[in-house]
A and B are shown apart, each in its own frame.
Chain A
Amino acid sequence: MMKIDDISKLNSLYLDVLRELGNIGTGNALTALSSMTGKRLNMRAPLVKILKLSDVPDLLGDPEKKVVGVFFEMSGDVKANILFVLTVNSAKQIINMILNTEAVNEEFDDMEISVISEVSNILVASYVNALSQLMNLKLAITPPAYSMDMAGAILSVPAVQFGEIGDYALYIETDFLEDNDRINGYIFMIPDVGGLEKIMRNLGVDY
Chain B
Amino acid sequence: MNRIKVGMADYKVAVAPDILMTIGLGSCVGITLYDPVLKIGGMAHIMLPCSAHYSNNFNKAKFADTAIEILLKELIEMGAVTRRLVSKIAGGARMFEIRSTDERMKIGERNVEAATKVLESKGIPIVAKDVGGTYGRTIELNLEDGSLLVKTIGHGEKIL
Contacts and interface: CB of A to CB of B under 8 A. Distances in A.
Interface in B38-53: 47-48
Interface residues of A, number: 35
A165 B136 CA distance: 24
Contact of B96 (A71, A107, A155, A165): A71
A149 B104 CA distance: 19
Interface in A54-77: 54-57, 63-64, 66, 69, 71, 73
Interface string A67-104: 00101010000000000000000000000000000000
A152 B48 contact: no
A156 B27 CA distance: 8
Most B-side CB within 10 Å, residue of A151, A163, A166:
A163
Given A66-B153, A147-B135, A157-B26, 4 more contacts: A63-B23, A64-B138, A149-B136, A154-B136
25 contacts: A53-B7, A53-B8, A73-B102, A142-B100, A143-B98, A145-B98, A146-B96, A147-B134, A148-B153, A149-B136, A149-B153, A149-B154, A150-B136, A150-B153, A153-B26, A153-B95, A154-B136, A156-B24, A159-B47, A163-B47, A163-B62, A165-B56, A167-B9, A167-B56, A167-B62
